[in-house]
Structure 1
Amino acid sequence: MSRIHPTAIVEPGAQVDESVEIGAYAVVGANVSIGARTIVGSHTVIEGYTTIGEDNRFGHFAAIGGRPQDMKYKGEPTKLVIGNRNTIREYTTLHTGTVQDTGVTIIGDDNWIMAYVHVGHDCRLGSNVIMSSNAQLAGHVIVDDYAIVGGMTGVHQFVRIGAHSMVGGASALVQDVPPFVVAAGNKAVPHGVNVEGLRRRGFSPDAISALRSAYRTLYKNGLSLEEAKVQLAELAEAGGDGDVHVKALIAFVEQSQRGIIR
């Protein structure tokens, strides 16, 4: 029995594993590759140079692999690459990259992307990311592993959201959110360490305590950013479970292109 609904259109050239299920009136373009056991909801369109891994689930009316919303785009064969075991819900839009960047938009593994989410060109999502409904990423945004982006949040282009961070709903994010930090507001500002999220993911009390100390150093002790970096470096050598995480925080701050939220 075919897993492709008779009203679906799969263009010649598409590479679709025989275990893939494609719903009514869905469209799969000629340059699309879909891995095993993936489910494509009715009326969903998957186009462009799009590669999809295994065990993904797309809701109805999603628009996947569309042309980037960038006026510089001239039809170049840029890509969208989606990993494994992602849930991508109704009316989500995921666009391909541009030649002005790496030419590829990347979605990792095990992400939960809710309805009406937009992921713009050249974005990179890690793994185990949660994007709540109506969250909107402009082009070139990076979202690291285990980050959570609240519903109706808008993220400016080139912003980076660090691992294990959380951005509250209806926020406007124009600068980078360091890893492990909670941010919220318009414009978003820091609101402490994502303690509950870290506990759920098995961070030790020692590691959480070290990150709380790092947060106070960065945000609460009245230090300039350069002064805070010096004290963070000392904290990262204190010994204990938290050292590696504090070092990750320091590296993020050093690499920030737009500056961190303050």
Structure 2
Amino acid sequence: MSKIHPSAVIEEGAKLGKDCEIGPFCVVGSEAVLGDRVVLKSHVVIAGDTEIGDETVVFSFAVLGEIPQDLKFKGEKCKTVIGKRNRIREHVTVNAGTEGGGGVTRIGDDGLFMAGCHIAHDAQVGDRVIVVNSAAVAGHCVLEDDVIIGGLSGIHQWVRIGKGAIIGAVTMVTNDVIPYGLVQAQRGELDGLNLVGLKRRGVARSDITALRAAFQMLAQGEGTFQERAKRLGDETDSEYVQRIVGFITGGSDRSFLTPGG
């Protein structure tokens, strides 16, 4: 049975799963759908057409599903989908999608969104993503699984950040980041591979060796960045390297952060 504080406002039409906890002064809008065992601590706002998956915990003063901060938005139907077992800390904001971006802002499962961070309209965020305090992810960005965004960092609109990449604190990222990349410095330089993350996930030594060699070829090989990536695809069968190749050759709205560039 759900526990709802007397001061909370649950608008008619909202759907709550089993055993939810709605704390003091929360507002749950009429189109909201909460899964089982969702917890809203206090002063949380769930606005618009927003779905929140099972066992997600939302802390005080977070606002999820409000209209996008986009001057082109004219009130069209938009949506926010947040997966299971996320931890969404104080003052986090997640905006709904826009018609021009597909209409849906989406967050996967098992993420941690620390205090004061922002996920903008139409962002597509994978599983097990960590966004550290006061970082901002702009509209239309793609964060693949296992990405970490350091505190106070900013991700430019339309940027893609590949699986397992890590962005250091106080970093501006204006171009795409390859899977497993390590980005540091205020203007976002591709500084190597996220070796710590790879080892923590139990990636085999042979695959890490292949990734090191691939990074060196991308950094120093002949031809353009895309040409080097295509050659890599022909020369290796490592699934990790092939993921990088597919990311680079798959097309993008932005350029790439390149080693030493």
Query: What is the match of residue 40 of structure 1?
Result: 40
Query: What is the match of residue 179 of structure 2?
Result: 179
Query: What is the match of residue 133 of structure 2?
Result: 133
1:254 aligns with 2:249: yes
3-state SS in 2 of match to 1:182: strand
Please give the residue correspondences for 1:1-262 in structure 2 after superposition, counting only pairs within 5 Å. 3-221=3-221, 223-237=223-237, 243-255=238-250, 256-262=252-258
Q: Offset at 1:223?
A: 4.9
Quick one: distance in 2 between partners of 1:186 and 1:196? 21
Contact 1:181–1:192 (CA<8 Å) still a contact in 2? Answer: yes
What TM-score do the two structures reach when normalised by structure 1? 0.95
Change (3 A) 1:159 1:226: closer
Q: C-alpha deviations, 1:105-134, integer Å up to 9, x for none?
A: 000000011000100000000000111001
3-state SS in 2 of match to 1:183: strand
Change (3 A) 1:103 1:2: closer
Contact 2:22–2:42 (CA<8 Å) still a contact in 1? Answer: yes
Quick one: distance in 2 between partners of 1:46 and 1:75? 17
3-state SS in 1 of match to 2:183: strand
Report percent identity of matched pairs. 39
Quick one: distance in 2 between partners of 1:217 and 1:131? 30
Q: Offset at 1:227?
A: 3.9
Quick one: distance in 1 between partners of 2:217 and 2:40? 47
Q: Offset at 1:163?
A: 0.3
RMSD value, Cα? 1.3
Quick one: distance in 1 between partners of 2:230 and 2:7? 63
3-state SS in 2 of match to 1:51: strand
What TM-score do the two structures reach when normalised by structure 2? 0.95
Quick one: distance in 1 between partners of 2:7 and 2:51? 23
Change (3 A) 1:260 1:205: same
Quick one: distance in 2 between partners of 1:257 and 1:27? 37
Change (3 A) 1:4 1:199: same
User: 201-210 or 213-222: which moved more?
Assistant: 213-222
Letter in 2 for 1:254: T
Contact 2:230–2:245 (CA<8 Å) still a contact in 1? Answer: no
Quick one: distance in 2 between partners of 1:226 and 1:150? 28
Contact 1:235–1:246 (CA<8 Å) still a contact in 2? Answer: no
Letter in 2 for 1:25: F
Quick one: distance in 1 between partners of 2:109 and 2:229? 32
Contact 2:2–2:19 (CA<8 Å) still a contact in 1? Answer: no
Matched length: 257
Runs of at least 5 residues in structure 2 that lack an aligned partner in the other structure:
none
3-state SS in 1 of match to 2:100: coil
Change (3 A) 1:258 1:2: closer
Runs of at least 5 residues in structure 1 that lack an aligned partner in the other structure:
238-242
Q: C-alpha deviations, 1:221-243, integer Å up to 9, x for none?
A: 46531441243123324xxxxx1
Change (3 A) 1:106 1:86: same
Change (3 A) 1:2 1:84: closer
Change (3 A) 1:18 1:131: same
Query: What is the match of residue 240 of structure 1?
Result: none
User: 249-258 or 143-152: which moved more?
Assistant: 249-258
